[in-house]
Structure 1
Amino acid sequence: MLPQKNKGDLVRFYTITDPKRHRKGYTVYKVTARIVSRRNPEEVQEIVVWKRYSDFKKLHKELWQLHKTLYRHPELFPPFAKGKVFVPT
């Protein structure tokens, strides 16, 4: 685990890949977070979680509420992407 640092000392990268059909019928996505130290680029932490479309939708709603509260321009916040049927191969 990385030691505690100032937020400016770290760079974060996120990728969402590998959609898969869960055994219960819904689709899950692999979310990978890579956290790299600016001071020591060899110092990398990687965290992987699997999330559902509904998790992303909930996060979007919460971010929209926060944006609306802080900035009062909800029309500037990007809309959430429509769901699409995914058929795994």
Structure 2
Amino acid sequence: MPLIDRECVRKLLDSSDPDATLVFVRGDCLVMPEREIDDAHRGLVVMSRKDLTRVLPEGGTITEQQLDMLADRLDNIVRDLGA
């Protein structure tokens, strides 16, 4: 069962905050402004929106298949963090 799914990725990409960051806390993916992440949770950061948009194809709409691929990548990151 994946820890990060396409909805987590969609929340991150759809966030209106330019500094949105995906954080995995106690089994939940949370999207929050980078400035609100305290030292205790800094190690739980999965990826920032800025970093994620760098790996997206330029222009055009993101497909469900691409969201799934990104979710799979981020899921691997979360597992590497020890979740």
TM-score, with structure 1 as normaliser: 0.29
Greater Rg by CA: 1
The structure in which a higher percent of residues are helix is 2
The structure in which a higher percent of residues are strand is 1
TM-score, with structure 2 as normaliser: 0.30
Q: Comparing both chains, which one has the higher relative contact order based on Cα–Cα distances under 8 Å and sequence gaps of 6 or more?
A: 2
